[in-house]
Amino acid sequence: MAPEDHISLAWCSPGDIPQVQELIGRHWRPGHVMARDARLYAWQFRDPGRPQGLSALLARRGGELVGHLGLIPGDFNLQGRRLPCRWTSLWFVTKQTQATGAGVALLRKAQEECGGMLGCLGYNQQAQRVFGAMGFDMLPALPRWLRLGRASALQGLLAGSPQPYPPQVGQDLALAAGRAALRPALGLEVRDWASLGPRPWREAWEQTLAPGGLGTWLDEDFIAWRYVRHPVFRYTVRLALRPADGRVLGLMVYRVQEMAGRTEKILRLLELACLEEAQDVLLQDLLARAGEMGAAFVDFHCASQDLTPALERAGFLREDRLPAMLPSLFQPLDYRQEPLPAALWVPRDQGLARGILDSPGLYLTRGQGDQDRPN
């Protein structure tokens, strides 16, 4: 191999960001938000273990930047055991470099150097083939739950689709909403994160929720970074509290999604991490907000069998029971009907069996990777 063809891999530094942004805009997607917003890039790929570095790998060919693999830190919870994990994002190489194996080399270097699990939310067929060959577990689609809000707003939203939606979509969502029967909230209240601070959630997570959980490590640091201090989106973080003893029993995160040039709004639920006794009171709070804002619908991408009964009591319906998928990208509004797949790689030295993504106890949501961000 000639020196100019040699592929070198290295971690990204803050000084590389302008070059990385140019690469993203030219070879990934013109106008991509990461090509425009350096602050968002630095936030998403922060590396708590390397304060002067970023959690992204770069590939260079003869000194020219030709590839990128972002690795979002987000540790994994195995029933109270905290395991290192990172979620891949913006994994690509230039077309001229694809035949060199640089893309696979980036992923292998991440496996070798990150010291833990690797996950991915949202990927194409090419990535799927690579994941399969490298021993990743894969989930074809992260379940998406939908709850009808204002029927007229949903009709207006769907009327803009180039392919007409079957009337059954709205009818089925209306039937599910009509069956809503949430249990009364006895002795529980819902409070804002800001009014309580992080300590009550820290205690709830460490003492109650983490020991029985399987999924992303949702401690106060993760919630504060991912949602409370997001540099662009404004998330609402709500906690279910039992005033009698001051104990927090669960957490919910959502945000309002607006669309340029349209009046309709969507309410997107990102987290519902709670004990069973707090599920209904948090969902009541969510639906009250949806009603106040006149949301066309509420959506929630989540793998969790434990939440299924409560979501159905709240009038949600799984999208795969509908004859067509609702839009899930809104900046700009995109009517393409595409599922959100998930993949997870577990190192052998972790002592874990494959199949975590099929576990009935898994809790995994759209917001825990790179799938709820500005476009």
Query: Which pTM value belongs to this model?
Result: 0.96
Helix (H) or strand (E) holding 196: helix 193-196
For the record, the structure tokens of 138 come out as 């894969």
pLDDT over 50 (residue 371): yes
Using N-to-C axis directions, what is the helix angle for 167-178 and 151-158, rounded to 10°? 160
Q: Check residue 338 and give its pLDDT.
A: 93
CB 96 within 8 A of CB 143: no
HSE of 239, CA atoms in CB hemisphere, 13 A: 24
pLDDT digits (tens, 9 = 90+) for 193-220: 999 999 999 999 999 999 999 999 999 9
| Furthest CA-CA distance within the chain | 72
Size (the chain), residues: 375
pLDDT over 90 (residue 149): yes
Q: Check residue 49 and give its pLDDT.
A: 81
**How many of the other CB atoms lie within 10 Å of CB of 20?**
22
pLDDT band at 238 (very low <50, low <70, confident <90, very high): very high
CB 92 within 8 A of CB 129: no
Separation of alpha carbons 370 and 121, rounded Å: 7
Sorted by sequence, the CB contacts under 8 Å of residue 337 that are 6+ apart come out as 324, 325
Of 61 and 349, the structure prediction assigns the larger pLDDT to: 61
Q: Check residue 31 and give its pLDDT.
A: 93
Whether residue 73 is preceded by a cis peptide bond, meaning omega within 30 degrees of 0, is: no
pLDDT over 50 (residue 3): no
Annotate 23-63 with three-state secondary structure.
HHHHHHCCCCHHHHCHHHHHHHCECCCCCCCECEEEEEECC
Q: Check residue 185 and give its pLDDT.
A: 86
pLDDT over 50 (residue 295): yes
Looking at residues 112-140, what average pLDDT do you find? 95
Separation of alpha carbons 200 and 202, rounded Å: 5
pLDDT digits (tens, 9 = 90+) for 180-197: 999 998 999 999 999 999
pLDDT band at 89 (very low <50, low <70, confident <90, very high): very high
Distances from the Cα of 192 to the Cαs of 73, 197, 226, 273, in angstroms?
26, 9, 16, 15
pLDDT band at 71 (very low <50, low <70, confident <90, very high): very high
Q: Check residue 52 and give its pLDDT.
A: 78
pLDDT digits (tens, 9 = 90+) for 319-339: 999 999 999 999 889 999 999
For the record, the structure tokens of 245 come out as 């003893």
Provide Rg for the chain, Cα atoms: 21
pLDDT digits (tens, 9 = 90+) for 244-265: 999 999 999 999 999 999 999 9
Domains of the chain: 3-139 (3.40.630.30), 144-338 (3.40.630.30)
State the DSSP code for 124. Answer: -
Out of 7-16, 25-34, 112-121, 350-359, least confident range: 350-359
Distances from the Cα of 260 to the Cαs of 40, 292, 327, in angstroms?
20, 20, 15
User: Which residues does residue 189 pair with via DSSP β-bridges, in sequence order?
Assistant: 241
**At 301, which amino acid appears?**
H
pLDDT band at 4 (very low <50, low <70, confident <90, very high): low
Helix (H) or strand (E) holding 342: strand 342-345
For the record, the structure tokens of 203 come out as 């205690």
